[in-house]
Chain A
Amino acid sequence: AQSVTQLDSQVPVFEEAPVELRCNYSSSVSVYLFWYVQYPNQGLQLLLKYLSGSTLVKGINGFEAEFNKSQTSFHLRKPSVHISDTAEYFCAVSDQSEGSSGSARQLTFGSGTQLTVLP
């Protein structure tokens, strides 16, 4: 089983400032890692994912994240935020194996971080 911890429930930041949203995970097996963004009353949109290869992953809207296996972290960063980045951000993990029946493994989500960009 996996677990995901997002330590910061709310992160206020001024427009054009850099931001880091923290995510730590726990798992006994190798995992895939994801960051999703959710705007009010909408579903989740994938920002980026780490499957393998380079530990620095670039996503949409200028976001990037770095996978650190030794620290079991996958922090999300953006060098300069915009008002439109205000949203809820979720970190998620999935183990790398398929289910015994070939079905997909479920995603385990963190509790979310509300990013509020202030003018």
Chain B
Amino acid sequence: GAVVSQHPSRVICKSGTSVKIECRSLDFQATTMFWYRQFPKQSLMLMATSNEGSKATYEQGVEKDKFLINHASLTLSTLTVTSAHPEDSSFYICSARTRANYGYTFGSGTRLTVV
């Protein structure tokens, strides 16, 4: 079945630095990629939606200059958390969708800890 590889699974960074999270669709073309954020014991909150070759659409309250999303190819999307602060510590999950098959495939998530 469809697989989305998300890396890194865990990252600890210093406050003020930037962190890049990658999501690759291994055996299908992801026309749309969704990026979610999940706080402990809470549900997934959609941060942004990106279509290959287009600018991402951010949800209300999500700073587009802080959370940079790039979806330059049909198999790779990246989320860069710029100038990270402790309040950015969270679990980030990507989800890919291809129009060929109505399904959403999730990455394994990235636990970001900013110290």
Contacts and interface: CB of A to CB of B under 8 A. Distances in A.
Interface stretch (B12-20, B40-48, B78-86): B40-48
Interface residues on B, range: 20 to 34
A32 interface: yes
Given A103-B31, A107-B34, A45 B106 contact: yes
A35 interface: no
B102 A90 contact: no
Interface centre among A34, A41, A46, A103, by most chain B C-beta atoms within 10 angstroms, is: A103
Contacts, number: 57
Interface string B49-75: 101001000000000000000000000
Task: Report whether over half of chain B's contact residues are helix, strand or loop; otherwise say mixed.
Answer: strand
A19 B1 CA distance: 28
Contacts of B93: 43-44
B24 interface: no
Interface stretch (A22-30, A61-69, A70-78, A108-116): A108-116
Contact of B99 (A36, A104, A107, A111): A104
Interface residues of A, number: 24
Nearest to A96: B102
Interface of A: 32, 34, 36, 41-46, 49, 51, 90, 98, 101-104, 106-107, 109-112, 114
Given A43-B108, A104-B32, 12 more contacts: A34-B104, A42-B108, A44-B93, A45-B106, A46-B103, A90-B44, A104-B97, A104-B99, A106-B46, A107-B104, A111-B43, A114-B41
